[in-house]
């Protein structure tokens, strides 16, 4: 007998009265003696299937099923007014592709249930955890987000690059890099594609973007940090100001949110209870000094004049949304001493960097700046930071020796964007398989990391 082509469950309404074939997972089983109801799900939906006692071999197979087993069914799509969707499948053949062990190591979270199983254990069995409706939708949203970012960049004259992730020089100043052995020499996992984005400017590509992994060797045990995350980066040549970069990112985010809302807005509302807001107009700007003043008036304590604590970020988001109606805010005029050496200084106030951070709903999602493109100034900045010009920076500095246009760009943590869009409580939940100081795929022991579990 020739096999039927698979029909996705979400398409069954078009096949009432027909014999079809579905393949998917056993969601739940109700054994009522002489009739067994098997709820089957795939990526497109869920359907009730029915096995009757009359077919002895089929019924015997159905009796052996366990939840989460993978099965292959042929049957007739029948009208069934007692079922919410209005139809069910009468099973004619049932094959088990893969029988799931029981019990499951974790409970797959239900539609309206939060934190059924501890997060650490859920992440240790991430391939099971990702089967939940919430996580399936999260992955769909993340896919549309990435596609929208890419398309916006392509539509606006950008070239996609794939910057190397093993590099000869650390891409940021400081010691938070992973060293790797590269044959007989030392190399590093890239903290950012920054240097190679700027190479694209020197190459006359003019506008580039890159989506890929970056690495931070920081022992940060928080709900917003990872040692490996996916960054979406853009660099643009011939800018007049870092605000040109801000405008590009602003419009890119607005387009992305509109795309996600159009494709998944109703599902996000149903599953997460969130109405995705597509901003109108320009995002507000706020200087660091103005932000600190607003926070002080609100009674939020500050211990750092040049940066913000998580508590300050959350409060600033609430204040600005109340004052402006915007969930987004560009914060500018950071002290140059706190920014990367390749950020351009304000010519009128050299203590200020020509850069920005973008905050969304009280969380920093982006750092960006106008870069220093003049080789003499760039060398001077590096020397001031105690960096060796003839050492690790030599290759980078060569990009500027033969002419490089004024340029700027930004890097955005994509997992943070999904986290804020869907209001997840932790970035670990919006990462396919998160790595942190105490997690490398699975949770590491305290002895291995020398750190207590976060």
Instruction: State yes or no: 68 annotated in a binding site.
Output: no
**What gap in Å lies between CA 16 and CA 89, rounded to an integer?**
9
Instruction: State yes or no: 224 annotated in a binding site.
Output: yes
Instruction: State yes or no: 306 annotated in a binding site.
Output: no
Instruction: State yes or no: 413 annotated in a binding site.
Output: yes
Instruction: State yes or no: 126 annotated in a binding site.
Output: no
Question: CA nearest 409: which of 281, 252, 291?
Answer: 252
- H or E stretch at 237: strand 228-237
CA of residue 174 relative to chain centroid, distance: 25
Instruction: State yes or no: 25 annotated in a binding site.
Output: no
Instruction: State yes or no: 111 annotated in a binding site.
Output: no
Instruction: State yes or no: 207 annotated in a binding site.
Output: no
**What gap in Å lies between CA 381 and CA 368, rounded to an integer?**
18
Instruction: State yes or no: 366 annotated in a binding site.
Output: no
Burial 274-305 (b: 16+ CB within 10 A, else e): eebeebeeebeebebeebbebbeeeebeeeee
**What gap in Å lies between CA 41 and CA 43, rounded to an integer?**
7
Instruction: State yes or no: 415 annotated in a binding site.
Output: yes
Number of neighbours of residue 175 by Cβ within 10 angstroms:
9
Instruction: State yes or no: 24 annotated in a binding site.
Output: no
Q: Find the angle CA(417)-CA(418)-CA(421) to the nearest 5 degrees.
A: 85
Instruction: State yes or no: 134 annotated in a binding site.
Output: no
Question: CA nearest 70: which of 8, 114, 24?
Answer: 24
Instruction: State yes or no: 364 annotated in a binding site.
Output: yes
User: In this structure, what DSSP letter does residue 284 have?
Assistant: P
Instruction: State yes or no: 8 annotated in a binding site.
Output: no
Annotated binding residues for L-aspartate: 172, 216, 367, 371
Annotated binding residues: 172, 216-218, 224-226, 364, 367, 371, 413-416
Annotated binding residues for ATP: 216-218, 224-226, 364, 413-416
């Amino acid at each position: 007998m020739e096999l039927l082509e698979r029909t996705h469950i979400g398409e069954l309404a078009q096949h009432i009265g027909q014999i079809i074939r579905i393949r998917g997972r056993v969601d739940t089983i109700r054994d009522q003696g002489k009739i067994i109801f098997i709820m089957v799900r795939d990526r497109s939906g869920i359907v009730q299937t029915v096995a009757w006692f009359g077919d002895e071999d089929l019924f015997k197979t159905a009796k052996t099923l366990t939840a989460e087993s993978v099965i292959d069914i042929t049957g007739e799509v029948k009208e069934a007014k007692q079922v919410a969707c209005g139809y069910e499948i009468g099973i004619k053949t049932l094959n088990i592709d893969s029988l799931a062990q029981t019990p499951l190591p974790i409970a797959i979270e239900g539609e309206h249930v939060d934190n059924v199983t501890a997060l650490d254990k859920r992440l240790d069995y991430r391939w099971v955890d990702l089967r939940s409706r919430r996580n399936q939708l999260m992955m769909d949203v993340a896919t549309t987000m990435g596609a929208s970012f890419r398309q916006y960049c392509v539509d606006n004259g950008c070239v996609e690059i794939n910057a190397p992730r093993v590099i000869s020089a650390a891409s940021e100043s400081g010691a938070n890099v992973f060293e790797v052995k590269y044959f007989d020499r030392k190399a590093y996992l890239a903290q950012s594609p920054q240097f190679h984005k700027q190479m694209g400017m020197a190459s006359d590509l003019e506008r580039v973007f890159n989506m890929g992994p970056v690495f931070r060797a920081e022992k940060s045990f928080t709900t917003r940090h990872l040692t490996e995350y996916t960054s979406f980066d853009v660099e643009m040549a011939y800018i007049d100001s870092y605000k040109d970069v801000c405008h590009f990112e602003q419009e890119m985010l607005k387009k992305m949110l509109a795309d996600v809302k159009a494709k998944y807005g109703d599902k996000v509302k149903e599953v997460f209870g969130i109405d995705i807001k597509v901003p109108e107009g320009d995002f507000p700007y706020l200087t660091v000094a103005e932000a600190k003043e607003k926070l002080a008036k609100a009674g939020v304590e500050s211990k750092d004049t040049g940066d913000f604590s998580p508590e300050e970020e959350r409060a600033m988001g609430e204040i600005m949304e109340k004052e402006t109606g915007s969930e987004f805010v560009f914060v500018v005029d950071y002290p140059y001493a706190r920014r990367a050496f390749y950020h351009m200084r304000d010519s009128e106030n050299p203590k200020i960097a020509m850069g920005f951070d973008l905050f969304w709903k009280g969380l920093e999602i982006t750092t960006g700046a106008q870069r220093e493109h003049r080789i003499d100034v760039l060398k001077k900045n590096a020397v001031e930071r105690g960096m060796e010009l003839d050492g690790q920076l030599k290759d980078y500095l060569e990009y500027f020796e033969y002419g490089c246009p004024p340029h700027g760009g930004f890097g955005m943590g994509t997992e943070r964007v999904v986290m804020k869009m869907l209001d997840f409580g932790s970035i670990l939940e919006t990462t396919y398989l998160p790595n942190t100081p105490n997690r490398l795929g699975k949770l590491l022991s305290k002895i291995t990391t020398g750190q207590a579990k976060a």
